[in-house]
Structure 1
Amino acid sequence: MKVCLDTNVFIAIKNKEEDFGFCTKILDAIEEKHIEGSVSTIVLTEVLVGFYMKNENTEADRFLNSAILNFDVIPVNIDITKKAAQIRAQYRIKLPDAMITASSINSNSDYFITFNKTMLKKLEIQVLSPIEFVKNHL
């Protein structure tokens, strides 16, 4: 099984937000190779911004190295660019969200895991919250 993670999964862990434990379980399952994980370079960029804004450069490097080791990192390419433009035009979502969603679809993941499910209901990939994924698949 392959999952693609949204930015808010990583941010929930970083900030120890409510329900971050579900996100941690997903990352643990990926690191232990029980499931495959993929992540867009856009997600990595968004998470790194949070580290750099707080001058947490060592933590930023640790996060990036871990992502490279444990995830299929999806770079932006022409196919993703085109798909993102179509998603943005149809659903009127922000460009970074459209890019991340297009990356998720093109990654051939079984699930896109995000806390922001409402805007992504009608897409070509099954969208689950971290809570739903953990309860149903881990």
Structure 2
Amino acid sequence: MAGAQRLRARAVGRGAGPHGRCLAPGVGRVIDWNAVPDEALLLVDTAPLIYHLESDERFGARFAGLFEASASGRLRLAISTVSLAEVLTGPFAHGRDVLARQIENALCEHRVVALTPEIAVEAARLRARYRLRLPDAVQLATTLQIDAWGLVTYDRDFSRIEDVRIIS
């Protein structure tokens, strides 16, 4: 998508506003999920999933509305098998297999998109064009393959992407 639109977080709360500053990038910022069309399909990158699952105090609020809109049926979410693997690595690394299975079950309530040869080829093209890490290129390629409205991420590596609408 040439000249892809970006939906950025806006500052809210104490220290926010046109001249206010947050303590750290992203802290105290939320995304206006009402700007996303009803029933839009969004691919969710790994970081927003982790922030949501861990109820992260610093960044969780930024993405809370996304998961609320999904739970109410207003937005549809998809995740790649790359994100599934990345999210489950932490619990498995700490011997928390039961928690990993619970997270897997919760994430699999959304559309889970497997890596296909078509996604792999597109990821290679995007990786070469934008000099991305392979997991990031796979996320972009997956977003394109499923014709998602956008990619929800907290990854700054996507700042120069033109092919996909980035929501961060």
Counterpart in the other structure of 2:89? 49
Relative to structure 1, the CA distance from residue 17 to residue 59 in structure 2 (aligned partners, 3 Å threshold; closer, same or farther) is same
| Count of matched residue positions in the alignment of Structure 1 and Structure 2 | 128
Counterpart in the other structure of 2:147? 108
The alpha-carbon deviation at position 51 of structure 1 amounts to 1.4
Q: Write the distance in 1 (CA, Å) between the matches of 2:137 and 2:57.
A: 24
**What amino acid sits opposite 2:79 in the alignment?**
V
Could you say which structure has the higher helix fraction?
1
Partner of 1:37: helix, strand, or coil?
Answer: strand
Matched, 1:78 2:99: no
Partner of 2:108: helix, strand, or coil?
Answer: helix
CA contact (8 A) 2:158 2:166 kept: no
Partner of 2:111: helix, strand, or coil?
Answer: strand
Counterpart in the other structure of 1:2? 41
The alpha-carbon deviation at position 120 of structure 1 amounts to 4.3
Instruction: Tell me the alpha carbon deviations over residues 2-49 of structure 1, each in whole angstroms, 9 at most, x when there is no partner.
Output: 111000101223261512123232122212211100110000000000
Unpaired stretches in structure 1, ≥5 consecutive residues: 130-138
The alpha-carbon deviation at position 123 of structure 1 amounts to 3.1
Q: Write the distance in 1 (CA, Å) between the matches of 2:94 and 2:117.
A: 33
Task: Output the TM-score relative to the length of structure 2.
Answer: 0.70
Unpaired stretches in structure 2, ≥5 consecutive residues: 1-39
The alpha-carbon deviation at position 78 of structure 1 amounts to 1.2
Q: Write the distance in 2 (CA, Å) between the matches of 1:72 and 1:21.
A: 23
Counterpart in the other structure of 1:59? 99
Matched, 1:95 2:127: no
Instruction: Tell me the alpha carbon deviations over residues 84-138 of structure 1, each in whole angstroms, 9 at most, x when there is no partner.
Output: 0001111111111111111111111111111114534323211011xxxxxxxxx
- The higher radius of gyration belongs to 2
Relative to structure 1, the CA distance from residue 46 to residue 109 in structure 2 (aligned partners, 3 Å threshold; closer, same or farther) is same
